[in-house]
């Protein structure tokens, strides 16, 4: 076990004193102190094991030995900035290119999803020479000021909406304006973007970009309806803008059937700019923007160098290459298809027995369980969702979290080595918790639980 430096209460006291209070902990009432991890398991300071359904960053499993080996081997030889010519950055870009449509072929390596999205915004604005951006409602694209501006999830609580930012409805077929009973929700939601573009034009403005996650996650684990992105891209491009896909959460095979979630749209849909991050370095800070030759060309033509001190360094790229190897060698996409389907089907069975389960949706190991106090009205069961999270941690040592505008969607984005046994355990425990809650707890929605 890793050496214990501080008692838990001392760590907590120091954290309160030294770390900004807006940097919140999971389970802030009684945080878990994790001292080591392996695969999909976390271990606390007493050696107790927790099943991790949260860490989509530790994509191929916590502390995967192949990733550690690649990192330490490269650290022992060279780590320098990317202005020195080195093989790793080009070999890694070449491997990533092989997973993408041909037109996405120019890479910029950075250190976080926020940096990637900030650069994507710059690329779009430079290429189109326009400023305005369309984003989806409830979206989150990062913590930099430029991204707070295009993240309704944040700007609604802070400075408000800038005049160059326009919010399109979230294409949520469970609780949005067009449901699953609509004959073509993809087209209907895409038309809301078309209408928005017309409104922007009436104001005498022009768009630079439509910016969206390929599966809106903070929005509540939303699966975009078929045909949506293709149609939106058509409208956006004909208005002179570009389509930016944020794959920071959804990339690297999480959806199983495809390497990138935008590919779920089918029909050869391809964004003009795509960003990636979280799972890319399995916990090492590594992120990237990929775009077309034309867009990259416009960025180069402004004559200003783009230099990123840490982005694309030999160690980061060695780690990125090792992550790609593990995804392939351990068939983690196949695992995501199999275990994800089992998890989703098992949760759907709970829906038949528990009134509180309003919706179960997902693809691969990107799954959401939406809780409601009233199925007809779809009233969000926010407190019940919080209770499920708390009980899973305290009674079963399972870590899950919630998302969605009302924090009533229990989300599952575990490391990709998550097994059928893990899924079976989680569903069994949720079943027990929902059964215990059934009689009394729906009434508690308006009280403290």
Ligand X SMILES: Cc1ncc(COP(=O)(O)O)c(C=O)c1O
Of the candidate residues 186, 256, 271, 277, the single one contacting ligand X (CB under 6 A):
277
At 95, list the tokens.
């491997």
Contact 40, 396 (CB under 8 A): no
Contact 362, 344 (CB under 8 A): yes
Shortest Å distance, C-beta 420 to ligand X: 27
Shortest Å distance, C-beta 173 to ligand X: 20
At 437, list the tokens.
């809650």
Give the integer Cα–Cα distance in Å for 248 and 92.
17
Would you count residue 274 as binding ligand X (CB under 6 A)?
A: no
Residue nearest to ligand X (CB): 113
Q: For tokens 């209770």, name the residue.
A: 387
Distances (CA, A) of 367 to 38, 54, 61: 22, 11, 18
Of the candidate residues 43, 58, 108, 113, the single one contacting ligand X (CB under 6 A):
113
Would you count residue 141 as binding ligand X (CB under 6 A)?
A: yes
Q: Contact region for ligand X (CB under 6 A) — 91-99, 112-120, 224-232, 368-376?
A: 112-120
Number of residues that bind ligand X (CB under 6 A): 14
Give the integer Cα–Cα distance in Å for 85 and 303.
21
Shortest Å distance, C-beta 15 to ligand X: 19
Of the candidate residues 74, 249, 291, 335, the single one contacting ligand X (CB under 6 A):
249
Give the integer Cα–Cα distance in Å for 26 and 287.
24
Would you count residue 246 as binding ligand X (CB under 6 A)?
A: yes
Q: Contact region for ligand X (CB under 6 A) — 2-10, 134-142, 264-272, 343-351?
A: 134-142
Q: Which is nearer to ligand X, 310 or 342 (CB)?
A: 310
Shortest Å distance, C-beta 249 to ligand X: 5
Q: Which is nearer to ligand X, 196 or 212 (CB)?
A: 212
Distance of CA 134 to the CA centre of its chain: 19
For strand 207-213 and strand 165-168, is the pairing parallel, antiparallel, or unpaired? Answer: unpaired
Shortest Å distance, C-beta 140 to ligand X: 6
For strand 41-44 and strand 34-38, is the pairing parallel, antiparallel, or unpaired? Answer: antiparallel
List the one residue out of 53, 7, 27 whose CA is nearest residue 394. 27
CA quadruple 198, 202, 208, 209: dihedral, nearest 10: -30
Shortest Å distance, C-beta 277 to ligand X: 5
Q: Between 215 and 234, how does the x/- string for binding to ligand X read (CB under 6 A)?
A: --x-----------------
Q: Which residues bind ligand X (CB under 6 A)?
A: 112-114, 117, 140-143, 213, 217, 246, 248-249, 277
């Amino acid at each position: 076990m890793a050496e214990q430096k501080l008692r838990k209460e001392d760590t907590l006291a120091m954290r309160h004193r030294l770390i900004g209070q807006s940097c919140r902990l999971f389970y802030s009432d009684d945080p878990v102190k994790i001292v080591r991890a392996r695969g999909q398991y976390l271990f606390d300071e007493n050696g107790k094991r927790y099943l991790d359904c949260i860490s989509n960053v530790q994509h191929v499993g916590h502390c995967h030995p192949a990733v550690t080996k690649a990192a330490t081997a490269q650290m022992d030889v060279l780590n320098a900035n990317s202005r020195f010519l080195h093989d790793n950055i080009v070999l890694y870009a070449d491997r990533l290119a092989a997973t993408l449509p041909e037109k996405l072929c120019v890479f910029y390596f950075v250190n976080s999803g926020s940096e990637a999205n900030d650069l994507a915004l710059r690329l779009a604005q430079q290429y189109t020479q326009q400023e305005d951006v369309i984003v989806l409602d409830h979206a989150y694209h990062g913590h930099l000021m430029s991204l707070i501006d295009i993240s309704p999830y944040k700007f609604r609580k802070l400075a408000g909406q800038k005049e160059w930012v326009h919010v399109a409805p979230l294409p949520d077929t469970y609780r949005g304006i067009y449901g699953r009973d609509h004959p073509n929700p993809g087209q209907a939601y895409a038309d809301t973007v078309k209408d928005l573009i017309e409104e922007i034009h009436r104001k005498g403005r022009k768009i630079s970009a439509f910016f969206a996650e390929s599966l809106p996650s903070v929005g509540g684990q939303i699966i975009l309806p078929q045909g949506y992105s293709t149609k939106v891209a058509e409208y956006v491009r004909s208005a002179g803008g570009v389509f930016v896909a944020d794959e920071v959460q959804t990339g690297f095979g999480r959806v199983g059937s495809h390497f990138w979630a935008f590919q779920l749209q089918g029909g050869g849909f391809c964004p003009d700019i795509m960003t990636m991050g979280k799972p890319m370095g399995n916990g090492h800070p590594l992120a990237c923007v990929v775009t077309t030759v034309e867009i990259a060309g416009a960025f180069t033509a402004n004559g200003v160098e783009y230099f990123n001190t840490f982005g694309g360094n030999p160690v980061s790229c060695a780690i990125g290459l090792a992550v790609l190897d593990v995804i392939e060698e351990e068939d983690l996409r196949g695992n995501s298809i199999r275990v994800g389907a089992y998890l989703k089907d098992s949760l759907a069975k709970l829906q038949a027995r528990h009134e509180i389960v309003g919706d179960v949706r997902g693809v691969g190991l990107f799954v959401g369980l939406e809780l409601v106090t009233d199925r007809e009205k779809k009233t969000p069961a926010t407190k019940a969702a919080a209770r499920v999270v708390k009980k899973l941690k305290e009674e079963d040592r399972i870590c899950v979290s919630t998302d969605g505008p009302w924090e009533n969607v229990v989300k599952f984005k575990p490391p990709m080595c998550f097994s059928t046994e893990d899924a079976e355990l989680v569903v069994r425990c949720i079943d027990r918790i929902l059964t215990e809650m059934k009689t009394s707890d729906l009434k508690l929605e308006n009280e403290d639980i």
